[in-house]
Amino acid sequence: MNGTAITVKDLTKKFGIFTAVNAISFDIKRGEIFGFLGPNGAGKTTTIRMLCALIDPTSGHATVGGYDIAKQSNEIKNIIGYMSQKFSLYDDLTVSENIDFFAGIYQTPKATRKQRKEEIIKISELFGKEDVLTGELASAMKQHLALGCALINDPQIIFLDEPTAGVDPIARKQFWDTIKSLAKKGVTALVTTHYMDEAENCDRIALISDGVIVACDTPENLKRTCMNGLLYKVECSNVMKGLEILRNVPQFHEVALYGLNLHVVIQDEKDASLISSFLKGANIEVKRVGRVDPSLEDVFVSLVEAQQREKARV
């Protein structure tokens, strides 16, 4: 694999007149945890399905493990593992039967199936539950089992499509600990998520919106270089009214809801005092206004809004 696990060049997928993925390009190194972040409908799952050789691209080129996704689909399927959004498990099969089923799908050699099955049970922390129906498992247990099934063929590269959706924070942490352990062994992971906080676990991140990659770098570099201005956190009463008020102020480059507060991006520090002035003028109580370091979510919102403004001008 020569140090590079995945290479993508101008990859595009259209469904009729709708462009789901629009000429994206990136490389992923062997053993790298690569995050693919974006809202629902951004093109994350479509990209994964192309890279897994499940659907053909409309144009562009990509290789996975050195194999061409358009010409060598069988070779690709032999070296990858894929965990989809819904975990791809069969609720009416037992834990053991699900593992056996995926071992057959991935054509795991019969000589190693028993050993791999025992390893999957251990990874999934399901010892003693082999004969339990999968539909009776808690979400966190299903998640671990789904990951185990994706690893049944000892893949070089794993694709994980929103693998932590619907599971609790403790299960999410355990999941990421497992992914980091696999990466240390040289396994490459492409992970899609819309949880900006857990994306900090990735070595690099591509931010995608409307089928276009708007930035690609390490989490720290994205936060340091991609904010277009100074970020202020605003704690106030009636945040929805405050959001409407501040979005109409020309000096404020971007205004977004952030939890129970507002985040405001300005270009000049002297304009920070205007935040309190406009809110108080609308009879909104201002509890605190202060400069903060941007999070990945702030970076993403900033980049997406800049993209939307550019589209509106075209």
Confidence of residue 19 (pLDDT cuts 50, 70, 90): very high
Average pLDDT score over residue span 157-173: 85
Average pLDDT score over residue span 255-268: 91
* Residue 219: pLDDT over 70: yes
pLDDT recorded at residue 1: 46
* Residue 213: pLDDT over 70: yes
Ranges 64-78, 266-280, 291-305: which has the least confidence:
291-305
Concatenating the DSSP letter of every residue in 221-279 gives: HHHHH---SEEEEEEESSHHHHHHHHTT-TTEEEEEEETTEEEEEESSGGGGHHHHHHH
pLDDT recorded at residue 235: 96
Average pLDDT score over residue span 36-60: 92
Q: Encode pLDDT of 84-104 as tens digits.
A: 876 678 899 999 999 999 888
* Residue 199: pLDDT over 70: yes
SS3 (DSSP) at 93? coil
What is the value of pTM for the model shown?
Answer: 0.84
Catalogue all structural domains in the chain, each as residue range(s) with its CATH number: 4-217 (3.40.50.300), 224-313 (3.30.70.100)
Closest by CA position to 124, among listed 85, 87, 166: 87
Tokens representing 214 are 């708007």
| Average pLDDT over all residues of the chain | 90
- Amino acid letter, residue 81: G
- Distance of alpha carbon 243 from alpha carbon 262, whole angstroms: 7
**Strand ranges for 154-229 from DSSP E:** 157-161, 188-193, 204-209, 212-217
* Residue 140: pLDDT over 50: yes
Phi, psi of 159 (to 5 degrees): -110, 120
pLDDT recorded at residue 87: 65
pLDDT recorded at residue 195: 79
Query: How buried is 288 (Cβ within 10 angstroms: 0-12 exposed, 13-18 middle, 19+ buried)?
Result: exposed
